[in-house]
């Protein structure tokens, strides 16, 4: 099917292209008009738009030199080369464009960064001054220009005066300005570096957790290893899920190889981090083409910082380019045990999406390889529970509870998850106990309240108490489909059919495809004497791929006979 769609696009684009060419007597598009060139050109565009950089590079390369004056072609060809890490090839092609006076945004920025990396700052400045917006919005371009122009000056003069150029004018970018100023002060060996980084990581307004790594790394590079360890240990306690922090902790404590090399007195490393920040920003705006381009430029400037690959893999995962994402995640295995565990979980996501049966065996092997800590064990227990391996997950949850006290941040979550596993494995009394203890440790947690109260409703226990708890949960977490459904169902069980309809109607709007919610809503409609409508929603359950066989059998009976005793 994929080949057919791609071929159809080529035919369509070729037809449109020829129509435009014929109607305009060949004057509109500067392109050598022959069938082979047209086919390669449009195949290259389609491959590029599909994030197939190897394919786009191959098709574009088949075009002869005369096509370099087509800026759409040359722009995407350079991006393809850079995204593939073919930096020398990108340099040679960009120089050809320059010699023909056909430079574009991509060639100028790459040539500028190429010279910047070689510390030819005056030469890089010439290229940066030629940059004009191209396929990026103005704010992003302005941030980029300020950063490039400022750092060519800072790198040359290394004085406080040059730091004044790091002025992004717009207050919305004050977080970036703080980061850049800290790096700049480090670069010129100012005595305020430690103070600058501390003001960043202690800032409550923005999430600057990442920069705990950079201050610790700064002390490490200065051979102050005890100070580096103290900072990274403290940061790890605060941010136990941050990959960069926790891998560096293992580097310092366990002697794992450091695959995130960074020196804030190296201008290329700083520029690489700056482009990574922009890559993150445009990725959050769903501009994945530009994000991938900036990440690839970051990797060109600092090829020894494996963390950059995490964003690249995430972009491909969002785009459902599973083969590309998996390839990068496997590369991350070499970044150390923290990255290996993170990447293996992402690969399991891909395996599950592709309905591959061996995900349990795969993750279990990785888990045994990495010398797991509390958080890795918690992750693996959750994975096993989701795979309905309840006894195995309960064993792991119990192991963690023996190692932590009630003040640990995971304590209430582990009780919740173990309680859910007990409930699913028909050990309700143990499950109920865990869920109640979870709420005792962390009161007013709406999802725990929902699970406990819904379980009571399903077992016809504590209905009034469940109803009160679900009202509270619904107040705490409005517009959550599951909680709204639970409240509606508790009202149904309490025979408040009219009020039940109000909440179940809202739940079906929030989650129209959920088979259980459709079943609940249909039951409620039936009891409110909307019997034709009830059968419509029961029929939705039968058509749902998510509904299990047991639910479908019950619904078939309802469609035939309605609800009993009515």
Please spell the DSSP secondary structure of 354-383, one letter per residue: TT-TTHHHHHHHHHHHS---HHHHHHHHHH
Token digits for 358? 């061996």
Q: What per-residue confidence (pLDDT) applies to 120? A: 98
Strand ranges (E), 138-260: none
Phi, psi of 260 (to 5 degrees): -125, 80
Q: Considering only CA atoms, which of 301, 303, 280, 302 is closest in space to residue 292?
A: 280
Q: What per-residue confidence (pLDDT) applies to 67? A: 60
Q: What per-residue confidence (pLDDT) applies to 31? A: 47
Distance CA 427, CA 420 (A): 10
Residue given tokens 């995430």 in the structure block:
314
Tell me how far the alpha carbon of residue 416 is from its chain's centroid.
26
Superfamily classification of domain 322-505: Tetratricopeptide repeat domain (1.25.40.10)
Spatial CB neighbours of 175, under 8 Å, sequence gap ≥ 6:
205, 206, 208
**In 3-state terms, what secondary structure has residue 291?**
helix
Q: What per-residue confidence (pLDDT) applies to 64? A: 58
Distance CA 175, CA 173 (A): 5
Nearest-5° Cα angle at 413, 482 to 311: 80
Per-10-residue mean pLDDT for the chain, 566 residues long? 43 42 39 72 93 94 68 91 98 95 95 98 96 73 92 95 88 88 96 94 91 96 96 96 97 96 97 96 94 98 98 98 98 97 98 93 97 97 97 98 96 98 97 98 97 96 96 96 98 96 97 97 97 97 95 96 79
**In 3-state terms, what secondary structure has residue 268?**
helix
CB 453 within 8 A of CB 469: yes
428, 478, 489, 498, 501 from 494: Cα distances, Å:
22, 22, 9, 11, 13
pTM for the model: 0.90
Distance CA 540, CA 514 (A): 9
Q: What per-residue confidence (pLDDT) applies to 72? A: 83
Q: What per-residue confidence (pLDDT) applies to 142? A: 87
Taking residue 197's Cβ as centre, other Cβ atoms within 10 Å add up to 26
Q: What per-residue confidence (pLDDT) applies to 28? A: 35
Spatial CB neighbours of 382, under 8 Å, sequence gap ≥ 6:
393, 417
Distance CA 387, CA 383 (A): 6
């Amino acid at each position: 099917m994929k080949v057919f769609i791609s071929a159809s696009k080529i035919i369509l684009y070729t037809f449109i292209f020829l129509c435009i060419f014929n109607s305009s007597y060949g004057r509109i598009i500067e392109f050598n008009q022959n069938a082979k060139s047209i086919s390669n050109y449009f195949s290259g565009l389609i491959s590029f738009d599909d994030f197939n950089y190897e394919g786009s590079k191959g098709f574009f390369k088949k075009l002869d030199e005369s096509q370099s004056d087509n800026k759409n072609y040359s722009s995407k060809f350079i991006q393809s080369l850079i995204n593939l890490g073919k930096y020398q090839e990108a340099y040679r092609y960009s120089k050809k464009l320059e010699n023909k006076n056909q430079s574009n945004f991509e060639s100028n920025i790459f040539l500028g960064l190429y010279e910047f990396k070689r510390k030819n700052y005056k030469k890089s400045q010439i290229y940066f001054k030629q940059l004009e917006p191209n396929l990026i919005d103005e704010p992003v371009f302005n941030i980029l220009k300020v950063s490039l122009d400022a750092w060519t000056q800072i790198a040359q003069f290394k004085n406080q005066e040059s730091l004044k150029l790091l002025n992004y004018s717009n207050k919305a970018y004050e977080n970036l300005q703080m980061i850049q100023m800290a790096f700049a002060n480090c670069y010129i060996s100012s005595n305020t570096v430690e103070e600058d980084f501390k003001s960043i990581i202690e800032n409550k307004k923005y999430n600057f957790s990442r920069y705990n790594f950079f201050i610790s790394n700064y002390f490490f590079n200065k051979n102050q290893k005890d100070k580096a360890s103290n900072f990274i240990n403290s940061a790890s306690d605060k941010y136990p899920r941050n990959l960069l922090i926790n891998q560096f902790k293992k580097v310092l404590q366990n002697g794992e190889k450091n695959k995130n090399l960074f020196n804030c007195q190296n201008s290329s490393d700083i520029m690489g981090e700056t482009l990574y920040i922009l890559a993150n920003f445009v990725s959050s705006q769903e501009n994945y083409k530009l994000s991938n381009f900036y990440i690839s430029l970051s990797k060109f400037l600092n090829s020894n910082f494996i963390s950059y690959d995490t964003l690249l893999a995430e972009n491909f995962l969002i785009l459902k380019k599973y083969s590309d994402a998996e390839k990068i995640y496997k590369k991350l295995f070499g970044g150390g045990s923290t990255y290996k565990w993170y990447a293996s979980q992402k690969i399991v996501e891909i395996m599950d999406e592709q309905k591959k049966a061996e995900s349990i065996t795969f993750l279990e092997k990785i888990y045994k390889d990495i010398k797991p800590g509390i958080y890795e064990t918690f992750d693996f227990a959750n994975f096993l529970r989701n795979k309905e391996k309840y006894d195995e997950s309960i064993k792991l949850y119990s192991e963690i509870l023996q190692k932590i006290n009630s003040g640990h941040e995971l304590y209430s979550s582990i009780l919740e998850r173990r309680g859910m596993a007990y409930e699913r494995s028909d050990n309700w009394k143990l499950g109920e106990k865990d869920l109640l203890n979870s709420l005792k440790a962390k009161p007013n947690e709406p999802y725990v309240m929902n699970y406990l109260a819904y379980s009571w409703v399903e077992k016809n226990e504590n209905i009034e108490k469940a109803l009160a708890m679900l009202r509270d949960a619904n107040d705490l977490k409005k517009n959550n489909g599951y909680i709204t459904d639970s409240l509606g169902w508790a009202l149904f069980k309490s025979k408040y059919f009219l009020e039940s309809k109000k909440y179940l109607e809202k739940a079906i709007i929030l989650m129209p495809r959920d088979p259980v919610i459709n079943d609940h809503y249909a039951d409620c409609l039936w009891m409110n004497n909307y019997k034709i409508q009830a059968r419509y929603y029961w029929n939705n359950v039968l058509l749902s791929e998510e509904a299990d066989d047991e639910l479908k059998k019950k619904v078939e009976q309802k469609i035939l006979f309605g609800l009993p005793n009515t």
